[in-house]
């Protein structure tokens, strides 16, 4: 179940898929452990204290009809709080651990390189359209270079979609009137491993109408030089003003860009300059 793709580039940052696999493994291991212990303990006790038809043990105080309920006191109440405390520690430490990683995912890695690419993703019934910094658009297939952080800005033209790729472990709601940010990156090793061109399945994860099931897309990752060749070939076949070019280092600090997007979504007319 744990996908073994490792999309590591160097040792200083990690792809979302890798981050996910690690947390998922930790949760799965602990969850299985705790679940097994609790269920086994319960089953064993249920068997041990079954009614075997014999005489009631000493101290067994059967309830009667019409009594006002009282709780069972004694040492079991202490045990209750002990187990409660233990489980609380497990759950809280798990979440604190996961939260640290969330901050990383939200911020995104600072790859420290020039030319991070920002692609606008627009969902529609029933497909995806991608707009590149130079204004060129493609539908269905997003073509990106390896070894670069790709920032995506996701929105929708009609209804609520969800842009996601299970293999890359990325997912973003595509909501009309809102813009959602996410990022991903694929290493050239991975591209090599897939034979010089890596492809990842894109699916819609929010019910969006009769064609929801068939709303598939693809992310194609090319080696840097091949991609640049393709990208340059797209210049000029579009009136695209190209003013929404890659914002370089600015967008690399994803935290900032995320908060700007929030401002846009909160008061689009003011901050985003969206015509009303």
Partner 1 sequence: MSELPPTTSVKRWLVTTNHKDIGILYTITALFFLLFGGVLALLIRVQLWDPANQVLSGLAYNEAVTAHGLIMVFWFLSPFGFGFANYFVPLQIGADDLAFPRLNAVSYWMYLFSGVLLGISFFQGGTLSAGWTMYAPLNIPMYTPSIGSTGAVLALAMFTIGITASTVNFLTSIHHSRAEGMGIMDMPMFTWGILATVWMMLFAFAALLAVGLILAADRVLGSVYFSATEGGSLLWGHLFWFFGHPEVYIVFFPALGVMLELFQTFSGRRLVGRKWVIISICLISVQSFLVWMHHMFLTTINLEIKTLMMATTIGISLPFDLVVFSLIYTLIKGRIQFTTPFLFAFGALLLFILGGITGVFLGAIVLDYEFRGTYWVVAHFHYVMFGGATALFGGAYYWFPKVTGKMYDELLGKLHFVIFFVSFNMVYFSMFLGWETPRRVFEYNPAFQTFHQIGTIGAFILGFSFFIMFYNFAKSYVAGEPAGDNPWDYSRTAEWAVSSPPPLENWPNRPSYASGKLEFVKDYVPDGGPAVKADGDGNAATDGGNSHSDHIKEYPYWDKHPSHASIWPFALSLMTGFFLFGLSGFADSVTFIVGESIASTSVEISNVVYPVFIVVGLVGMIASGVKWGLEDFYAPPSEFAERWPFNGVEKVKLGMWFFLASDVIVFGAFLSAAIFVRYNAGWMTWEPLTESLPGLINTFVLITSSFTVILALVAAHRKSRQGILASLGATILLGFTFLAIKLWEWEHEIFDRGVMIASNAHGDPIQASIYYVTTGLHGLHVVIGLLIACYLFVRTYQGHYLEDERPIEYFGLYWHFVDIVWVFIFPLFYLF
CA 9/CA 138 separation, integer angstroms: 27
- With contacts defined by CB under 8 A, name the span among 13-21, 128-136, 219-227, 228-236 that binds partner 1: 13-21
Quick check: 269 binds partner 1 (CB under 8 A)?
yes
What is the DSSP code (8-state) at residue 133?
T
Which of 2, 46, 241, 275 lies at the binding interface for partner 1 (CB under 8 A)? 46
Of the residues 203, 226, 238, 244, which one makes contact with partner 1 according to CB under 8 A:
203
What strands lie across the sheet with 216-222, from one edge to the other? 141-145, 216-222, 198-204, 161-165, 170-174
Would residue 100 be called left, alpha or beta, if left means φ above 0 and alpha means ψ between -120 and 50 degrees?
alpha
Decide if residue 4 touches partner 1 (CB under 8 A): no
Pairing of strands 137-139, 127-131: antiparallel
How far apart are CB 65 and partner 1 at their closest, in Å? 5
Q: What is the DSSP letter of 62?
A: -
Q: CA–CA separation, 212 vs 158, rounded Å?
A: 13
Which of 99, 195, 241, 275 binds partner 1 (CB under 8 A)? It is 99
Among the candidate windows 33-41, 112-120, 184-192, 243-251, which touches partner 1 by CB under 8 A?
A: 33-41
3-state secondary structure of 87: helix
Q: Judge whether 121 and 137 are in contact, CB under 8 Å.
A: no
Region from 136-144, 154-162, 186-194, 227-235 binding partner 1, contact rule CB under 8 A = 154-162
**49-88 residues near partner 1, rule: CB under 8 A:** 49-51, 56-57, 59-60, 62-72, 76-77, 79-81, 83-84, 87-88
> Is 273 one of the binding residues for partner 1 (CB under 8 A)?
no
8 belongs to the binding site for partner 1 (CB under 8 A)? no
230 binds partner 1 (CB under 8 A): no
């Amino acid at each position: 179940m744990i996908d073994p793709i490792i999309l590591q580039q160097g040792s200083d940052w990690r792809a979302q898929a890798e981050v996910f696999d690690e947390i998922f493994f930790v949760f799965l291991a602990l969850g299985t452990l705790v679940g097994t212990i609790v269920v086994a303990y319960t089953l064993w006790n249920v068997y041990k204290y079954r009614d075997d038809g014999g005489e009631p043990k000493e101290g067994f105080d059967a309830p009667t009809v019409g009594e006002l309920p009282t709780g069972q006191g004694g040492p079991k109440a202490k045990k209750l709080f002990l187990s409660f405390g233990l489980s609380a520690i497990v759950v809280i430490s798990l979440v604190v651990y996961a939260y640290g990683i969330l901050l990383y995912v939200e911020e995104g890695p600072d790859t420290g390189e020039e030319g991070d690419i920002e692609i606008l993703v627009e969902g529609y019934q029933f497909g995806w359209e991608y707009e590149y910094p130079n204004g060129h658009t493609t539908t269905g297939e997003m073509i990106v270079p390896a070894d670069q952080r790709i920032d995506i800005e996701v929105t929708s033209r009609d209804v609520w979609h969800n842009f996601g790729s299970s293999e890359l472990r990325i997912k973003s709601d595509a909501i009309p009137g809102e813009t959602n940010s996410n990022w991903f990156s694929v290493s050239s090793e991975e591209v090599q491993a897939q034979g010089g061109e890596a492809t990842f399945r894109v699916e819609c994860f929010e019910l969006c109408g009769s064609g929801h099931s068939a709303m598939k897309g693809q992310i194609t990752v090319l080696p840097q030089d091949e991609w640049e060749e393709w990208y340059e070939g797209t210049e000029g076949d579009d009136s695209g003003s190209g003013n929404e070019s890659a914002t370089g280092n600015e967008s690399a600090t994803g935290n900032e860009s995320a908060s700007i997007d929030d401002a846009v979504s909160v008061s689009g007319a003011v901050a985003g300059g969206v015509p009303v």
